[in-house]
């Protein structure tokens, strides 16, 4: 399967979450495919920003930040040194789905500081703001409001922009999320003289139709930023695409295109002069532009092959790890932790598809949940992922009886998942009828 032809997008951002060998092959193959599709379409200079992502429940702390910087640097070096039979027009950065509910703030700050210790590096924070103030409990512009798990508004501001390494790509699934981010930006403006400069909102509408569409997420974010009197220069929207499934391991791969307003284009030269980008990013853009122009000058009339690019990407690494059925202690899924708390995940074959069941609890994004105690209503979120396109299709969220705390999966027995609740009560989930019942 050929990669998506992205030459009609403007300044896309692709975020690949988790960094095992198989997924590195996917992202390097994507780079090769993008470069070659762009060249074939005559769009050399139309840039792709690429974020190699993790999350703050999977990897956290100083050592993990340093290790992630190494991964990102290796991919960037590969992209700039013969990654494909076309000039490289990608800028590789890190990415982290930073969510207060899923990682300690000190460890998350340590990750960011270690990752950003090298000059010229950056990462995209495509996380949430669990439990941060909303209009209903606004502490005012000068107060550093509390968020979940011991985090504060200042922590989110620092990790998203204030450390001069983070770049905010906020999860905007409902209007309340936009308000929370706008209030954090207001805090930065009033107390740090530096409000956030958003790249654009991240939506999850393709996976959950009860959330904002991409266009509504953009409207919600810009409306909230206007209401709170902070920087509204964000003019890019996030769209979701799918990767080639054969290079995808058990951990999720999330892809999104970060573009300006639809149907417009910006060349590398235009981006290099964009004053809304930080100088170190503009410098990298200029370097990519110069390399692409030099390649074009020294390879007149060169022909490229998308398939050859993918094969070249695969040849750089050993074969990907084989996906295995079973229970995984993974605490994030293709949705915001402010809407659903994930305790663990089961995946298994179902015909020609993979079935993924996320066990946890449904949550209200506007509620600040304690680190211990009430954590929402227990439920299972069910998805199916086909082998042909790798597309994740939501089958629904299936709640346990009222009063049940978060659920965990203990085992699979035939067509049943055996569960336990936060209170220690036994339940089972029927994979055929999608019913959660007490044992």
Burial class, 82, CB count within 10 angstroms (exposed 0-12 / middle 13-18 / buried 19+)? exposed
Query: What are the pLDDT digits (tens) for 374-384?
Result: 578 899 999 88
From the list 111, 183, 178, the residue with the least C-alpha distance to 143 is 183
Burial of 287 (0-12, 13-18, 19+ CB in 10 A): middle
Give the model's pLDDT for residue 11. Answer: 42
Residue 163 CB: number of other CB atoms within 10 A?
15
pLDDT at 74: 83
| Axis crossing angle, helix 62-80 with helix 21-40, rounded to the nearest 10 | 30
pLDDT computed for residue 88 by the predictor? 78
Residues 54 and 276: their CA atoms lie apart, in Å, by 26
Distance CA 348, CA 368 (A): 33
What parts of the chain have a pLDDT lower than 70?
1-26, 29-30, 34, 37-47, 82-85, 119-120, 206, 233-278, 296, 299-323, 365-374, 386-391
102 by DSSP, 3-state: which? helix
Consecutive H or E run containing 355: strand 353-362
DSSP 45: T
What does the pLDDT read at residue 430?
A: 94
Q: 292-342 pLDDT, tens per residue?
A: 777 767 766 655 544 454 455 445 544 444 567 888 877 777 777 777 888
pLDDT confidence of residue 271: 46
Q: Is the pTM of this model over 0.75?
A: no
């Amino acid at each position: 399967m050929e990669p998506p032809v992205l030459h009609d997008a403007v300044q896309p951002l692709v975020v690949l979450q988790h960094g095992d060998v198989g997924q590195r092959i996917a992202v390097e193959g994507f780079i090769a495919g993008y470069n070659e599709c762009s060249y074939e379409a005559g769009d050399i200079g139309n840039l792709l920003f690429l974020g190699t992502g993790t999350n703050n429940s999977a990897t956290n702390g100083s050592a993990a930040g340093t290790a992630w910087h190494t991964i990102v640097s290796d991919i960037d070096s590969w992209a700039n040194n013969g990654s494909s039979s076309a000039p490289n027009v990608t800028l590789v950065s890190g990415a982290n789905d930073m969510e207060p509910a899923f990682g300690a703030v000190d460890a998350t700050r340590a990750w960011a500081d270690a990752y950003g210790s090298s000059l010229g590096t950056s990462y995209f924070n495509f996380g949430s703001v669990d439990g941060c103030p909303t209009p209903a409990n606004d502490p005012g512009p000068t107060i550093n409001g509390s968020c979940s798990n011991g985090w504060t508004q200042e922590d989110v501001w620092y990790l998203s922009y204030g450390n001069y390494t983070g770049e905010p790509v906020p999860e905007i699934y409902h209007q309340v999320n936009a308000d929370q981010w706008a209030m954090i930006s207001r805090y930065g403006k009033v107390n740090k003289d530096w409000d956030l400069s958003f790249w654009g909102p991240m939506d999850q509408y393709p996976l959950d139709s009860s959330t904002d569409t991409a266009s509504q997420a953009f409207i919600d974010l810009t409306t909230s930023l206007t209401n709170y009197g902070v920087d509204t220069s964000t003019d890019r929207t996030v769209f979701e695409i799918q990767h080639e499934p054969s290079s995808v391991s058990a951990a999720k791969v999330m892809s999104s295109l970060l573009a300006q307003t639809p149907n417009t284009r910006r060349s590398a030269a235009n981006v290099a002069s964009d004053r809304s980008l930080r100088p170190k990013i503009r410098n990298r853009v200029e370097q990519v532009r110069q390399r692409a122009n030099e390649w074009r000058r020294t390879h007149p009339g060169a022909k490229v092959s998308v398939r050859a690019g993918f094969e070249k990407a695969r040849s750089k690494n050993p074969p990907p790890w084989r996906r295995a059925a079973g229970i995984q202690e993974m605490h994030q899924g293709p949705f915001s932790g402010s809407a659903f708390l994930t305790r663990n995940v089961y995946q298994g074959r179902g015909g020609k598809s993979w079935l993924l069941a996320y066990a946890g609890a449904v949550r209200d994004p506007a509620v600040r949940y304690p680190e211990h105690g009430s954590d929402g209503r227990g439920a299972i979120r069910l998805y199916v992922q086909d082998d042909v396109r790798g597309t994740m299709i939501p089958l629904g969220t299936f709640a346990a009886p009222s009063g049940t705390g978060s659920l965990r999966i203990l085992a699979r027995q035939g067509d049943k998942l055996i569960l336990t609740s936060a209170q220690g009560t036994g339940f089972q989930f029927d994979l055929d009828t999608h019913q959660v019942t007490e044992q």
